[in-house]
Chains A and B, each alone.
Chain A
Amino acid sequence: MKLAAALIALLALAFVPSLVGPYPLGLMIGILGYGILATAWALFSGPTRYISLATVAFFGLGAYTVAVLSETLPYPLVLLAAAAIGLVVALLVGLATLRLAGIYFVIFTFGLTELVRQLVTYYEVNVTRTLGRYVFLPFGPEHIYWQLLALLAATLAIAFWVRQSKIGLALRVIGDDPVVASHLGIRITRAKLTLFSISAVIMTLAGAIQAPRWTYIEPSIVFNPTTSFLVVIMALLGGPNRLFGPLLGAIPLFLLFEWLSANFPNHYSIILGLLFIAIVFVLPNGVLAAVDSVRARLTRKEASA
């Protein structure tokens, strides 16, 4: 029943490009892009409570892969290559760092973005002597939209599956108390590594799919650390421990950013900063959790009345 509803919703969304103009479609692309990143981020960071700021490192790798390979390989193979690169990097990084905890992990993942960016720059400057690559693929916005929609559906399906499966439970136990988890016989590192890799591959694909929209790619464009922060805020707003939480956080925030930059182009940063503070103070567990607690309070009131 739920599956049927999800499929109908997906099908309906697939017709959006023929119904709306270019600008709403652009908005939808942005929402899907951030929705995917936030959902993928929460896939790993929600249950484990490891705040990762490496989102844009994978996102940028995906975009760069397309820029480098799009003229030599057919497009589906380019996407596969991007996924493979994302996976390899995630495994390497994960093996080295997932034993870190708390603030050390946050700082490491932030540094990782800069590391990847500098490595790509170093390679381009010293080996290929081109910085800035052109992506000329015959894709209009609707093609990018459909690909992103498919990726979002896949991401939500994976997130749904993880919640039902043993590995999801294992990760929640790890997030609650790693010591208890290891005493229960959970192979902590392997569980974390698996989810970190899945999440990273999705982020890489999100970058790869969106690259043709920008035509021109250089490290400062695709490895923009702001993206990582926005994704965290979106997931936190919606609630990282719920299936649709990150997506529901991404939608209002994305529209809000759009509205702010259109109507307050000169005060954007100030208003944004105030909003972030407000989110953390007013909705520390996310919108969905806040809705639940309000509902619980109402029922309690009714019960006592």
Chain B
Amino acid sequence: MTNLSRRTVMQGLGVGAMATALAGLPVFAQDRTAIRIGYAISKTGANAAGAGITTTPNYLLWVDDVNKAGGIKLSKLGVTLPLEVTEYDDRSAAEETVRAIERLATQDNVDLILPTWGTGANLAAGPTFDRFGYPQLAATAVTDMAPQLAARWKHSFWMLGGGHDYANALVELLVKQRDAGTINNKVAIASVADGFGIDLSKAATPAFTEAGFELVYDKTYPLGTSDFAPIINEVSGLGADTFVAFSYPPDTFALTQQAVVADFSPKVFYLGVGTAFPIYPGIAGPNHNGVMGVGGIDPDSEAVAAYFERHIALNGQAPDSWASAITYASLEMLQQAIERVGDIDREAISAELSSGEFDTIIGKVKLVDNQLRSLWTVGQWQDGKFVGLAHTERDGSRDPVVPKPDWVPAT
């Protein structure tokens, strides 16, 4: 019995080793039947939720859209080819991400590699993308280091701005409200003690102080906190009209619920990652209306509306209203860059991405030093849409509603 099982196990291992060895037979250009796209995405582990909402659905949608349209035209080769996908699970580990990209680039010899979800993972992948000369369209990485990273890795493109962009835009928006007399001078900030929270609070604290706001509360809470009653109770007695939380998804939802339960309804209620998620209105119920957060979309754009419809039809869920549209736009840029080059020439594609202008669902896009600088920075739930209130380059799509409606008590 033991003997048999052991043999079975060893056979399994043997088959595994063989498959690993055979998986990477090279594909020759002349018998090219498809453009081969590879990506390693977090299907399990800490990043799986974010990847499952923002990144994977957009990769699926793009591949579906392109293939339904017949494929991508490679004029120099005189063919129009569909996309073919190789996908791996990076298990939310930096080491797996790096190795998966090595595998896609050198074993599977895919034509292009799409990046994984998240700031840390995209930074970890940077040197590897660069080493093999694959363009890296980092649409879900928020980092103030973007200018240095783009200079260091010539094939990298940073599409989601840095902590300063979001923090400064929020402060600017609140200054206008204060000067108009709709809110008082007191602000309370709670930040998650993790990459995103610290980056934004590091930028926001001095910006608020310089703008003459009084920070009555400015503390961090540990990642994984589930009871927000102490924070909300303390803050509610401080007389701040503005509550800002640079939070992560589970906290974003819990903070909303706790504020409703404690009937702490400040005039401005701003939360971090997760506010723009399509599930937020479901979790907050009628109280989602008027809540502000990071990101936003243009509610008047027909292209965005059509994108939302296609996304829902294919994936059964709406995209989020922050990085989703940017992720999809980055793929449109990639497609147009390939078509303009007319061949799978990664150097030329990178050069085109860096210098060209592209038509995308978020409008005309031209990168500045390999960075997307045209971003929605502050959004607010209004009439079922997470509308952009502040943008780095244009006017807000809607005026902020301040004060937000009072909470509807929890039943």
Contacts and interface: CB of A to CB of B under 8 A. Distances in A.
Interface in A262-305: 262-263, 265-266, 268-269, 278, 282-283, 290, 294
Contacts of A294: 3, 6
A262 B223 CA distance: 30
A185 interface: no
Nearest to A293: B2
B120 A26 contact: no
Interface string B139-164: 00000010000001000000000000
Contact of B106 (A22, A140, A268): A22
B13 interface: yes
B94 A214 contact: yes
Interface residues of B, number: 54
A121 interface: yes
B309 interface: no
A26 B5 contact: no
A33 B95 CA distance: 11
B122 to A, nearest CB: 8
Nearest to A34: B95
B16 A131 contact: no
A218 B192 CA distance: 14
A189 interface: no
Chain A contact-residue range equals: 35 or more
B98 interface: yes
A283 B6 contact: yes
Contact of B126 (A126, A131, A215, A263): A215
- The A contact surface, by secondary structure, is helix
A26 B99 contact: yes
Nearest to A141: B102
Nearest to A256: B16
Contact of B24 (A23, A255, A263, A278): A23
B123 interface: yes
A278 B5 contact: yes
Contact of A216 (B24, B107, B124, B131): B124
Contacts of B100: 261
B146 to A, nearest CB: 12
15 contacts: A22-B105, A125-B193, A129-B202, A131-B193, A131-B198, A216-B120, A221-B93, A224-B93, A255-B13, A259-B16, A261-B88, A268-B44, A269-B44, A283-B6, A294-B6
